[in-house]
Amino acid sequence: MTRDEFNAFCKSLPQTTHVVQWGGADVWKVGGKVFAIAGWTKNETLGITFKTSEIGYEVLKEMPGLRPAPYLASRGMKWIQHYDEPGLGDDDLRDHIKSAHHIVAKGLTRKLQRALDLYQDE
């Protein structure tokens, strides 16, 4: 997945905002909370970091090309970084980014979820 593809996909998710921070990383948020980040690559693979469930974290952290996200995971947060090949295919990456968006959106206050019209029918 290229940086442009990453940004276009994140932009397509409901109620997202984008900022460039932390050394030029593309940071995507929902309700002011981060759900995915792209940047910090040392090779040709774009480093993509995303929030995940506890089960997802346990499975993904063992896969080649994936690792617990530096800084975030060391603080006990369930974040994975796709940093090298083989990693995840683009469709799987999109699924995990969409899931990260959902996890973060569901963690917002009900009042903010209603204001943003997020996941009201669940």
- Residue 27 domain-assigned (yes or no): yes
pLDDT of residue 99: 97
Q: What is the pTM of this model?
A: 0.91
For residue 17, the one-letter residue type is: T
List the CATH number of the domain containing 95: 3.90.1150.30
98 is written with which tokens?
A: 């969409």
Domain holding 59, by residue range, is 3-116
Q: State yes or no: pLDDT of 122 exceeds 60.
A: no
- Say if 60 falls within a structural domain: yes
Residue 121 domain-assigned?
no
Tokens of 31: 């309700």
- Give the pLDDT score at 67: 94
In terms of phi and psi (left: phi > 0; alpha: psi -120 to 50; beta: otherwise), the region of 37 is: beta
Q: How many domains does the chain have?
A: 1
Model confidence band, residue 60 (pLDDT cutoffs 50, 70, 90):
very high
Band (pLDDT 50/70/90 cuts) for residue 19 is: very high
